[in-house]
Amino acid sequence: MKSDMQKSLTVLWQDRVNDRAVEIDIFNASEEPKKLLDLLLDKGLLVPHICSGGGSCGTCMVEILKNDELLNEPDEHEQDMLNSRGWGPKARLSCQCYFKTNSLGGSDKL
């Protein structure tokens, strides 16, 4: 049973292969911080990640539409990349951001 305290963030990803926008609510059910890219891949989204999470290719870019406070702040390297590409303030490199903590409230888990 889902907890009422469950917190998810809403991610918008541009699937360029299938020419569609994918909006997905996602949360971290793990006890450990998890990279957003890994959570999206676990959901079956084929988010490109050409540099294997090195933060240098930009192919894993997503936009965070809701509850971005659940994620770490962009570090200087990520911020430089986002600025250099001219992406908007909602853009993040999914390989460089992670849920700070388990985002499930209470003791209920899926």
Binding residues (CB under 6 A) for ligand FES: these are 49-51, 53-60, 93, 95
Query: Shortest gap between Cβ of 106 and ligand FES (angstroms)?
Result: 33
Three-state SS for 69? helix
* Beta carbon nearer to ligand FES, 40 or 95: 95
Give the CA distances from residue 81 to residues 4, 22, 44, 66, 104, in Å, rounded to whole numbers and listed in that order: 36, 23, 26, 22, 31
Q: Least distance (Å) from ligand FES to the CB of residue 96?
A: 6
Rg (CA), the chain: 14
Q: What residue spans of the chain are helical by DSSP H?
A: 36-42, 76-85
Residue closer to ligand FES (CB basis): 9 or 36: 36
Amino acid at 7: K
Nearer to ligand FES, 48 or 65 (CB): 48
Instruction: Write down the least CB distance from residue 110 to ligand FES, Å.
Output: 27
Q: How many CB atoms lie within 10 A of CB 43?
A: 12
Provide the minimum distance between the beta carbon of 54 and ligand FES in the complex, in angstroms, as a whole number: 6
Of 53 and 102, which has the nearer Cβ to ligand FES? 53
